[in-house]
Structure 1
Amino acid sequence: MNMFAINYSVRGSSRRSEEERAVGYWRDWLIDVEGGDAVLVVEDTEDRVTLNQLLMFVTGADRVPPLGFPGEPTINFLHTVTVFPEANTCAMILKLPKHNTFESFSDSMISGIIQSPCFGYA
């Protein structure tokens, strides 16, 4: 949780309240990922996300380099009608989508990361 800097909108704006809800979901979701509880079941198939997969999705690296990253991974927010998270691995930016429920947020995070399994392989 402390690895990422968070770029919020102006305090008091409607976007800010949506972003704070997304960060709350993000923090709860990270706890689920760490505990192995971030699971999406679709047609009797269970998909799980690990912290290594999340790190790969955001940074392109499957572990933190010994000397750390050259910059700080950042969280931005998607204020468009986008269901899945997006990432820019060069800039180490994770863009979180807006969702009204934790379950919807969790499902979209798992799906978005699982659907990018070949990224990082040459």
Structure 2
Amino acid sequence: MMCTQKADLQHFDYHDLPDGNVQGNLQKIKQCSTEKQLLSLCSELGDWISDCGVPGIFTAKIKDIPTVFTQVVKHYIYFRTASVIQQFIEGMNTCGNLWHQVERNWIAFLPIFTSTSREMSLPSFKGLYKISWSPQGSNQREREEETMFGWEMFLIAIQEKATDVTFKDLLVFWTGMHSVPCLGFPGEPVIEFYEQEGPSRIPYASTCSLSLFLPRGVEEEEMNALLTRAIKESSGFGRV
């Protein structure tokens, strides 16, 4: 079993590690194939490799490089996080042995502990929010319905990739989140309306209340332009 694990780690794709610096260091170890390169590796990364639990790097030979690579990978995958993971498990089990329940029912808990989100579609996005309408038959309601027609066309344009805005961009602008939380939002996102006064005000959002504000009485073309501008010019704000 140990031999199989060692062989597997020798072919581990270091690009799977999230830290770019670690990726670069592992690449240098993996590509080390001559005595000159080994001397350079020890000079540049010897202390770092030693801190990863491989003090033998300073006396290593070329034939030992695959083992050094394996040990450094094992350090980052297993040993570096082992105590933290154990503390997490112990903490979970203080709540009625919750972690044992997770292990026994791991499929049910999979969406909570792993990223299982998929690219959003038009139906899934429309199922996220509600609309705060004015009373039926009022002048405001008629203008809100005009706005919502433009909104629907904008969503269809996103679905058909007829715009460079994505559902993810729209979700970030509206809620500050890149994806729908696994347990859902704390409240239902809502579309509110406002009156345009003076120079056109672009749509805006409150990520705290999960409210998106759209102007009443805006036609399809203008709605597309206003929403695109609002989303593009707010890039990076309020992201969680």
SS at match of 1:75: strand
Which residue pairs with 2:202 in the alignment? 84
How high is the sequence identity, in percent, across the aligned residues? 35
Shift of 1:80: 2.9
Which residue pairs with 1:110 in the alignment? 228
SS at match of 1:96: strand
SS at match of 2:179: coil
Equivalent residues, number: 113
- Structure having the higher strand fraction is 1
Give the AA of the match of 2:154: W
SS at match of 2:192: strand
| 2:175–2:210 contact (8 Å) kept in structure 1 | yes
TM-score by length of 1: 0.85
Q: Name structure 2 gaps, 5 residues minimum.
A: 1-125
| 1:83–1:98 contact (8 Å) kept in structure 2 | no
| 2:174–2:211 contact (8 Å) kept in structure 1 | yes
Q: Which runs of 4+ in 1 moved over 3 A?
A: none
Shift of 1:120: 3.0
RMSD: 1.6
- With over 3 angstroms needed to count, the CA separation of the structure-2 counterparts of 1:112 and 1:99, relative to structure 1, is farther
Give the AA of the match of 2:165: V
Task: Point out which structure has higher relative CO (alpha carbons under 8 A, 6+ apart).
Answer: 1
Which residue pairs with 1:50 in the alignment? 166
- Larger-Rg structure: 2
Which residue pairs with 1:74 in the alignment? 190
| 2:204–2:213 contact (8 Å) kept in structure 1 | yes
SS at match of 1:31: helix
